[in-house]
Structures are given as C-alpha cells and as structure tokens.
Amino acid sequence: MAVIGRETETALDMTRDRYGRTVRPDAAADIRAHRDRAAVEAYTTYLAPCADALLDTARRALDELPPARHLAGWRSVLDGLAASTAAIRRGLDQPTTPGPAGERAQHKALWPHLTAWADHGCIASHLADLDQAQHHKAPLTVEEQQMWTEMARAAQKRGELELTESWYAADGQPITLAYLVEDDASTVVALRGDPDASGWQVIGHYAHEYEAGQMLPAPVPPGVLRADASEFNRAEPAPEVSLQELIRNVVESQHAGDATNALLGATQRGHDAGPMVRLQELLETGAQFAGALETVQGRQIAARLAALGRQIEFLTREVEEAAEDLGATVAVLPPHRTPVPRLRPGPAVDTTPPTLPPRTSTTARHR
C-alpha cells in the first residue's frame, strides 16, 4: 500500500498546476480508480486469506498483556480492522453493475476499509508476533541496577551519556539505549523511564546495540499525533504560492501596489494561506508533537515552539501593516533605475575592428 500510495501521488502531481490545484480532473479520477483496483488486488492476494486468523491471534496476545494505557486503543483498532475485513468481504461478494463503471464504484467503496488496514495493520501484526518476541533475558540484581544507575547518572552530569534510540515496551514504559562513556571506554546501557526526569533506572548493559535489541523487550508500534490522520486519505492540497514566486513578483514589480500584493500574499490567511501563516501552523503543530511526547524535554521544546509561533504571528501582522503602508504610497520606481540589457549589441557587420595598441618591449616585472 505504501508503494501504491507513492505511485499515486506522483501521478496525481501531473494533474495539478504549480499551485496544487487539480486542472485535469478526468485524469485524476482515472489515477484514483487505478489506485483502488491495485489496492483491492493487493488485499485479496496477500491479506484476505489470513486476515481473520491474524486478528484472532492478535486478540489472544492482547488479552495476555499487562495493563497499560494503550491497550484500550489497540482493542478498538482491532475491532475496526475486523469491521473493515467484513465490509471488504461483503463488497467483493456482492454482484456489481456490469462494465468498468460498476467495478470502479465497487473499488472506490472499499478504499476506506483497505486504508484502515494500511494505516493500522501494523498493530495487529505486532500483537500476532508477540509470542515469538524476545524479552529481557538478563535482569540485573537490585545491587547491580543501583550501581549502573548511579554510574549512568554521573555520566549524564558529565555530558557523557549519549542517547541513541528510544521505544516503548508492551507495558507502556519507555526504554532508551545510550552509550555510557567512562575512562575512554563506552558501554551500551538500557534505561527505563524518561532520561530527563527523576526516577529513571538502568535495566541492562550490553556489548553492543544488536545484543541489546535481542535481549530487551520488543518495541511496540508508536502512537500518532492525531487519531484521525491517514497517510492514504489526505485532503486535496490547498492552492499555495511559493515564497520564491512571491520574491520574484517583488523583483519584477514597478509599482508599489504590485510589491504590496506580493507581500500580502505571504500573510494571507484561510484555505489558501501564505507562507508566513503556514510557517506559524508548522510551529504550532511541532509544539503539539513535542508536547505529545510527554517527556520533560518534549514539554520544554513545546513551549519554545509555541513561543516562536506567537512571534511569527506578531511578525505576520507587522508585515501586513508595512505592506499596506507601502501600497498607500502610490509610488513607482524612478526611471533612472534602468534595466541592463542581457545581450550586449555587437559591432556592425561592415565595420572595421578597432586597432590593437602596439605591444611594448618592456620586460615584465615578476614578483
């Protein structure tokens, strides 16, 4: 589905103008119909024969997991996948109107259920694989855990605890791999908990990262920022004028009003928002993501990004006011700012080339 999605987006780009508006709707409809058919064929070939068994195995594994915040959400995902599986089966079993139009309608109706599997099937496959997953094989004793935790905290204060990778275990606890540097030697250690908060502990030390990955609890699928986001059901892109084009518009302007329009294009709000407004949205969304990490550093970074977003909002209003003041000048560029010809005029065909100056016989001085 990821390959189908990428190929579809590449093809749809050819049906849009430079602002992202669809200008060839018939071609776009054909591309989406081809996408729907390819998705149905992929599902029936690879997933349909084992979808029910996969969900049953996932449910059994879910029932055996220790209590955690994410389990209710996972159960809801499995219920949704089961409903999509049944809907796909019903859709494929029902007779369709003869001809390409009937097949298109059938495949289009199945697309939302197919993308449900593409977006969330990783949770079902992870649960189904839990029985074969490796778990922490070499827990430290209480004394060893305390000793390694104190060593790691001391290294963190020295700036010699290098974090490399992080994931969540099935019990909902974060695990972070780090290199603990001491006396010019480094050891891979695993931390449980937020490394920037109090209370984290070292739960293991290993010769290298591969060994750690084999012995530590397997990572679970990470969460999502927004529950309704889908890689395969994105909204039609809004018309957007690039910052480069706005700059070019100012360079090519001769009247103050033209330059004003370009500047106001950067601060335009609404569906076809300008680059400055989009930048503010990016910072605000980045702040939401950082806060959703639920870590000490994540909350600090979220506050920084939110503050930068407010600064961009203030700057946007300043640009709007300055642009309006520029337009109110009703001015034009003075005529002495003449253009420079890109092609210099050459000599006439019947003219005699200029006489070269006589060569001097003076010996050149060398330095």
Q: What is the pLDDT of residue 100?
A: 83
Task: Determine the average pLDDT of the residues in 337-351.
Answer: 75
CA distances in angstroms from 309 to 39, 79, 101, 281, 306, listed in the order given:
40, 39, 48, 8, 5
* Per-chain mean pLDDT for the chain: 90
Q: Above 50 in pLDDT, residue 150?
A: yes
Task: Determine the average pLDDT of the residues in 307-313.
Answer: 97
CA distances in angstroms from 63 to 52, 72, 129, 130, 337, listed in the order given:
17, 11, 14, 12, 77
Task: Determine the average pLDDT of the residues in 164-174.
Answer: 92
Q: Is 208 within 8 Å of 58 (Cβ atoms)?
A: no
User: Where does the pLDDT of residue 365 fall: very low under 50, low under 70, confident under 90, or very high at 90 and above?
Assistant: very low
Between CA 179 and CA 241 the distance in angstroms is 46
The Cα diameter of the chain in Å comes to: 100
Q: What is the pLDDT of residue 96?
A: 76
E strand spans, the chain: 161-168, 174-182, 185-192, 201-206
- For residues 177 and 185, the model is more confident at 177
User: Where does the pLDDT of residue 356 fall: very low under 50, low under 70, confident under 90, or very high at 90 and above?
Assistant: low
Q: Is 276 within 8 Å of 283 (Cβ atoms)?
A: no
- What's the residue count for the chain? 367
Q: Sign of torsion, CA 316 318 321 323? A: negative
Hey, is 326 helix, strand or coil? helix
- For residues 341 and 283, the model is more confident at 283
Q: Above 80 in pLDDT, residue 170?
A: yes
Task: Determine the average pLDDT of the residues in 181-206.
Answer: 91
Q: Above 50 in pLDDT, residue 277?
A: yes
Between CA 134 and CA 314 the distance in angstroms is 52
Task: Determine the average pLDDT of the residues in 267-293.
Answer: 96
Q: Above 90 in pLDDT, residue 134?
A: no
For 3-13, how does the pLDDT look when each residue is reduced to its tens digit (9 = 90+)? 999 999 999 99
Q: Above 60 in pLDDT, residue 219?
A: yes
Q: What is the pLDDT of residue 95?
A: 81
Answer yes or no: pTM beyond 0.75: yes
DSSP codes, 228-286: T--TTSPPPPPP---HHHHHHHHHH--BHHHHHHHHHHHH--STT--HHHHHHHHHHHH
User: Where does the pLDDT of residue 363 fall: very low under 50, low under 70, confident under 90, or very high at 90 and above?
Assistant: very low
- The DSSP letter of residue 130 is G
Task: Determine the average pLDDT of the residues in 260-276.
Answer: 95
Between CA 275 and CA 246 the distance in angstroms is 10
Q: Is 156 within 8 Å of 148 (Cβ atoms)?
A: no
- For residues 196 and 184, the model is more confident at 196
Q: Is 36 within 8 Å of 110 (Cβ atoms)?
A: yes
| Tokens linked to 44 | 């029936």
Percent of all residues in the chain with a pLDDT value above 70, rounded to a whole number? 92
Q: Above 50 in pLDDT, residue 364?
A: no
Q: Above 50 in pLDDT, residue 34?
A: yes
